[in-house]
Amino acid sequence: MARTIGRYEIRRELGRGAQSVVYLGWDPQLQREIAIKTMHFDQPDPQRNAMLLAEARTVSKLQHPNVVAIFDAGEQGGDPYLVFEYVAGQTLAERLRREGPIEPALAAGLMRQVLGALAQAHAQGIIHRDLKPSNIIMDADGAPRVMDFGIAVRGNDLPAGEEGLLGTPAYMAPEYLESRCVSEQMDVFAAGLILLEMITGRRAIQGDSVGQIVYRIRNEDVQLPRGIDEKLGDIILKACARKRELRFGDAGQMRGGVDAYLDIGSAAADGATEQQQATLEFLLRRMRHKSDFPALSDSVSAINKLTNSDR
């Protein structure tokens, strides 16, 4: 193992995949810890490397408290590397394996933060394309931080029999599996699956093979567990609709639905009147079927302010 990558000193390995290794590193110039992701491919491909570095430059402009920032990118020995902000913590996947399901309101609150990061990315024309629990890290304060925006997915191994897929099959949207259609709504689909996974503690789409998983995503509707709150369940089902046109249009719209769900609970706890709670529930029902989410989200905020002013 090289002791340095670019100007960065290697301290220890943090994890590895089939074609990548992540190291804890040190930036001697700025005197701070960083994370370095190196990618190695069997065949050199300057065009692929150039594409990776171009995407890194685009994503580096994305600044949000729930995004793991990219600091630098380059090549060494013909292999590309990415330099990230180092975030100490465990991934959401590790959190679920170790501690099990997350209480629904807390899960919705965590997803609201993830959706905030995605909404800013979508507003800048950036699509994650490989959103999954192992790409969300929980920082020391318990806040979710999204990493690997649309970059390392290009280095993924292609599943056998599914040539051309970029990403993780269990979180892929049906339209991407069918026609390689890429849009903000593929991130929405993955976010819905992750929200359900947080609540149940198990992956929403199960299968013994990649082919079986792909079949289920394309042909079977997502199933909710018994006892899930109806309002939260409706949000998940809308996010995970197999037909793209029935889904939330982007992460900002889905966040509007999650905001309404959380605001209903908050209004009830804060002593809102029955009329105010009914209005919030009406807005949430409209969000299931209408496209005017920004205006509706503003209405939710206005009702919350009214609720607080009446206390």
Please indicate, yes or no, whether residues 48 and 140 belong to a single structural domain of this protein.
no
Q: Which amino acid, 115? A: L
pLDDT confidence of residue 159: 41
Q: In what order do the strands lie in the sheet with 136-138?
A: 90-91, 136-138, 144-146
DSSP code for 222: P
Please classify residue 274 by burial: count the beta carbons closer than 10 Å to its beta carbon, then call 0-12 exposed, 13-18 middle and 19+ buried.
exposed
CATH number of the domain where residue 71 is located: 3.30.200.20
**Under a CB-based contact definition with an 8 Å cutoff, are residues 172 and 165 in contact?**
yes
Please indicate, yes or no, whether residues 45 and 142 belong to a single structural domain of this protein.
no
Please indicate, yes or no, whether residues 230 and 258 belong to a single structural domain of this protein.
yes
**Under a CB-based contact definition with an 8 Å cutoff, are residues 254 and 116 in contact?**
no
Please indicate, yes or no, whether residues 96 and 79 belong to a single structural domain of this protein.
no
Is residue 51 classed as helix, strand or coil in its secondary structure? helix
Share of the chain above pLDDT 90, in %: 66
Q: What is the pLDDT of residues 44-100, one digit of tens each?
A: 788 888 888 888 998 999 999 999 999 999 999 889 999 999 999 999 999 999 999
Please indicate, yes or no, whether residues 114 and 70 belong to a single structural domain of this protein.
no
Residue 131 pLDDT exceeds 80: yes
**Under a CB-based contact definition with an 8 Å cutoff, are residues 6 and 81 in contact?**
yes
Residue 296 pLDDT exceeds 90: no
Residue 212 pLDDT exceeds 70: yes
Specify the residue for token string 């220890």. 12
Please indicate, yes or no, whether residues 184 and 167 belong to a single structural domain of this protein.
yes
pLDDT confidence of residue 43: 80
DSSP code for 288: H
Q: What would the mean pLDDT of 148-175 be, rounded to a whole number?
A: 65
Please indicate, yes or no, whether residues 124 and 247 belong to a single structural domain of this protein.
yes
Q: What is the pLDDT of residues 226-248, one digit of tens each?
A: 999 999 999 999 999 999 999 99
Please indicate, yes or no, whether residues 226 and 122 belong to a single structural domain of this protein.
yes
CATH number of the domain where residue 213 is located: 1.10.510.10
pTM of the model: 0.83
Please indicate, yes or no, whether residues 178 and 254 belong to a single structural domain of this protein.
yes
How far apart are the C-alpha atoms of 23 and 133, rounded to whole Å?
20
The tally of domains found in the chain comes to 2
The residues annotated with a catalytic role in the active site are: 130
The pLDDT mean for the chain works out to 85
Please classify residue 49 by burial: count the beta carbons closer than 10 Å to its beta carbon, then call 0-12 exposed, 13-18 middle and 19+ buried.
buried
How far apart are the C-alpha atoms of 266 and 277, rounded to whole Å?
10
Give the domain extent around 13.
Answer: 4-85
Please indicate, yes or no, whether residues 171 and 57 belong to a single structural domain of this protein.
no
| Domain end point (choices 85, 102, 122) | 85
pLDDT confidence of residue 311: 45
pLDDT confidence of residue 306: 46
Residue 13 pLDDT exceeds 90: yes
| Domain end point (choices 52, 85, 118) | 85
**Tally of CB atoms within 10 A around 74:** 16
